[in-house]
A and B are shown apart, each in its own frame.
Chain A
Amino acid sequence: MENTQSPAAQSVKTTPTLADWIFILIVLAILSLVANLGHSAYLEAMHTENSKKNGEDIAKWLTETGANRFKKTFDMPACTGGKAPVKPPEVDADGDGEPDVNPEPVPGTWGACFQHMMTNTDLKQLVNPFFDETPKFIAACNPDDATLMGSIVLEKMVATPPGSAVPMINSQLIDTDPIDQKMQLRVSICDKGSYAIKIAEFEF
């Protein structure tokens, strides 16, 4: 102890006064405020964790599928690799001279595989914890748009020629992208501030 001076006791009222009780109440109020705000921060962090889990599940499914989709035994035609997209013949059923818009995705494209993934697998149960709805697949997270919290960004990564400033160019994987060849993908999710959190990079 630095100061060994023995202090003289003062004879004053030692029980807590009104001011002391006010101080104690203020401290308790601040502690409950911190607990409340801390709980909110915890819930938001948990939402982000659950969104990350969504991203991890998608990455896991795509990685596993990617490892098998070029095998002959692979039984998911929508995601099979090695087969170029086959565009169905154009039909003009309504006779307006314009070919009808086919709502079904073309087999051999990402659109068909994505539809299969979100309808026939466990991934159809994914829920965006921020809004309690199916997560959206978007092009990029945007901190100015709070509605993107918990959304998923699925990008294809294309290597640039040697000597380029950036080794890879990322772009959103869209429905018409062919999936007949192996591709490098990246999954990210948007956190509570709509900032991107990278989940995984893998081969599909």
Chain B
Amino acid sequence: MDNNTHAPRLIDLDAKTLMGEDVEADISPDLPMRQWMYAWLLNPDIPGNYQKSIDKWVGLLIVANLFTLVLEHVPAVFEPYKHYFHIFDLFSITVFVIEYLMRLYLAPEDSEFNKRKLPRLAYIFSPFAIIDFLAVAPFFLQSFIPVDLRALRFLRLLRILKLFRIVIPAIKEFGELNRGRTFRQRIHALVFPSAYGGTMQTIFDTFIGVWVIISVLAVVLESVHSISYAINVEFAILDALAVAIFSVEYCMRIYASVEEPGFKNAIAGRFKQASTPATVIDLLAIMPFFLEVVLSHVFDLRFLRVFRLARLLKLTRHSDATAILGKVLVREWPVMSASAFIMLLLVVLTASLGYLFEHEAQPDKFENIPTAFYWAVITLASVGYGDISPVTPIGRAMTIVLALIGIGIFAIPAALLSSAFSDQLVKERDALKANLLHMLKDGHLEEAEIAIIRQEAKRLHLTIEEINALLETIVKEQENEKSKIKSLPVHIIAEKPELAIEHYKNLLGQIHQLALMTDADKFEAAAKTSDRLTASEMALWQQLQARKSNA
């Protein structure tokens, strides 16, 4: 392709488009009202409209309804806040009714129903509409018929079915993406991020994330006497459910890990997967349950309950910042360990001197060197609780000096970590820049390349402005590269095929430009009269002219 046609395309690259963000919906305001509303609110094929947002918020409301339904069965929670539960129920019903009526009104615009004779009637009897109707019907039913509270609550469970509107398309998409793939590959697609996962993988991750948050909240709330007193049994059930979910997830990860690159071996690969920090965390998240129940009659293992908080670490699987921090720790480990060694020396020295100078004055507080360690660490780390302090003049003088040294020494690891962290981020951004530069060498980006850039930009938390700045830098660097090639001697250019191709394209471009801008008749007349061109040179010129006239 022509080099001259690449440059403007590269310059015109927009970071927002590249990141797939803030795409403004292209909907004409001149459309009829119903069509216009459908385009903005429900059409899944128009990027940038509100369809995805509506689906997302309705989905969240359904999940919130599920939680309130569960909590309503706990008298200790429901009775004092009955009023709020009722308000929330009214709010949910209002939203669901508005959604139902909106879909009913806009049904004639939906491609699924607009070919039917009576589109709205077709919509009413469609499976999703029946589910939507069942979700709101019990509320109105109780206004006309006295319904038993338990039956009403059961009927309200039907609201969960509304989630099918999100889950069924995701399952269909997952099926399409994984057509012809094995059972294990499908499991892999579900639990590991890959091109085959689609929305189902996001739903799976969200599901696990929600359960992590629920179970950690349960652990925290269990420590509140008034709460654990009221819902002790519910906590036990919740914990068993969470462990069941996390155990299945753990098995799925171990089983499907052989589909991951670098984990191919059936046994060694799975052991390798099991020993990765993320999978060890997964195991730690479920082990306390098994150990506590199995060994509770042998040992007091209540302390293991605290380890259930390790479930929170499961969320770090999705945090790229944690991965970067891990890399930084590994990279800076030698310096960190040296710093830790110096800190240790300083603590021992301070504790020993504290004991030496203060033991006689305060034998109860500086009883021996090990007891003085506490004072040493509190002093050197600038915490200074003040429960133990030196009283002798020499002890105080020593504390002044050591505390000042401590400020510097104890600050080293923090400074090291922070600088190494930002350094790592710069490195990774440079890597992205290099990657982008490589991808843009041909002047345009493939869909797969855009996907990689999106992933990387998200991982490195780059803003649209930063990506724009990166693109500008790359454009400038490419221009600089071209001007450098122009200034190089031909024999050096000829040595490197990449440079030679660029140079060749550049020269061809110049010839094309010349052919376009020069008066052909005058050029040919001058060439013939002065006999300045060879026959082959003249033939090439005429070929270019022929192309020009054809164009």
Known: A12-B182, A193-B296. A45 touches B255 (CB 8 A): no
A residues within 8 A CB of B31?
none
B290 within 8 A of partner (CB): yes
Interface hits, B58-100 → A, CB 8 Å: none
- Within the complex, the shortest CB–CB distance from A57 to chain B, in Å, comes to 15
How far is A23 from B248 in the complex, measured between Cα atoms in Å? 10
Interface string of A45-85 (1 = CB under 8 A from B): 11011001000000000000000000000000000000000
Interface hits, A12-29 → B, CB 8 Å: 12-17, 19-20, 23, 26-27
Interface hits, A145-166 → B, CB 8 Å: 146
Flag if A41 contacts B239 (CB, 8 Å).
yes
- Within the complex, the shortest CB–CB distance from B338 to chain A, in Å, comes to 40
How far is A44 from B240 in the complex, measured between Cα atoms in Å? 13
Flag if A38 contacts B183 (CB, 8 Å).
no
Known: A2-B454, A48-B232. A7 touches B248 (CB 8 A): no
- Within the complex, the shortest CB–CB distance from A197 to chain B, in Å, comes to 7
B225 within 8 A of partner (CB): yes
Residue ID in chain B nearest A19 by CB atoms: B184
B residues within 8 A CB of A11?
180
B316 within 8 A of partner (CB): no
A195 within 8 A of partner (CB): yes
Residue ID in chain A nearest B240 by CB atoms: A38
- Within the complex, the shortest CB–CB distance from A30 to chain B, in Å, comes to 5
B residues within 8 A CB of A34?
240, 243-244, 247, 289
Interface string of B24-41 (1 = CB under 8 A from A): 000000000000000000
Residue ID in chain A nearest B447 by CB atoms: A4
A120 within 8 A of partner (CB): no
B residues within 8 A CB of A17?
182-184
B194 within 8 A of partner (CB): yes
Flag if A5 contacts B447 (CB, 8 Å).
yes
Known: A5-B451, A30-B251. A37 touches B289 (CB 8 A): yes
How far is A180 from B534 in the complex, measured between Cα atoms in Å? 132
- Within the complex, the shortest CB–CB distance from A145 to chain B, in Å, comes to 11
Residue ID in chain A nearest B177 by CB atoms: A7
A198 within 8 A of partner (CB): yes
How far is A15 from B186 in the complex, measured between Cα atoms in Å? 11
Interface hits, B201-247 → A, CB 8 Å: 202, 225, 229, 232-233, 235-237, 239-241, 243-244, 247
Known: A31-B244, A193-B302, A195-B302. A10 touches B181 (CB 8 A): yes
Known: A2-B458, A31-B247, A35-B244. A20 touches B300 (CB 8 A): no
B297 within 8 A of partner (CB): yes
On chain B, the number of residues with a Cβ less than 8 Å from chain A's Cβ atoms is 48
A121 within 8 A of partner (CB): no
Flag if B290 contacts A143 (CB, 8 Å).
no
- Within the complex, the shortest CB–CB distance from B479 to chain A, in Å, comes to 30
B179 within 8 A of partner (CB): yes
How far is A20 from B258 in the complex, measured between Cα atoms in Å? 13
B196 within 8 A of partner (CB): yes
The 8 Å CB contact of B184, one of A9, A20, A52, is A20
- Within the complex, the shortest CB–CB distance from B526 to chain A, in Å, comes to 55
Flag if A49 contacts B455 (CB, 8 Å).
no
- Within the complex, the shortest CB–CB distance from B142 to chain A, in Å, comes to 31
- Within the complex, the shortest CB–CB distance from A36 to chain B, in Å, comes to 9
B145 within 8 A of partner (CB): no
Flag if A10 contacts B240 (CB, 8 Å).
no
The 8 Å CB contact of B232, one of A14, A45, A143, is A45
A170 within 8 A of partner (CB): no
Q: A9-B180, A12-B182, A197-B229 are in contact. List 11 more A-B contacts (CB 8 A).
A: A3-B197, A9-B179, A20-B182, A20-B183, A23-B184, A34-B244, A37-B290, A37-B294, A42-B236, A42-B240, A45-B236
Interface residue ranges, A against B (CB under 8 Å)? 1-7, 9-17, 19-20, 23, 26-27, 30-31, 33-35, 37-38, 40-42, 44-46, 48-49, 52, 143-144, 146, 192-193, 195, 197-198
Q: Report 19 cross-chain contacts, Cβ distance below 8 Å, ordered by A residue.
A: A2-B451, A7-B177, A7-B196, A9-B180, A10-B180, A12-B182, A16-B183, A17-B182, A20-B183, A30-B247, A34-B289, A37-B240, A37-B290, A38-B240, A38-B241, A38-B243, A41-B239, A42-B236, A144-B300
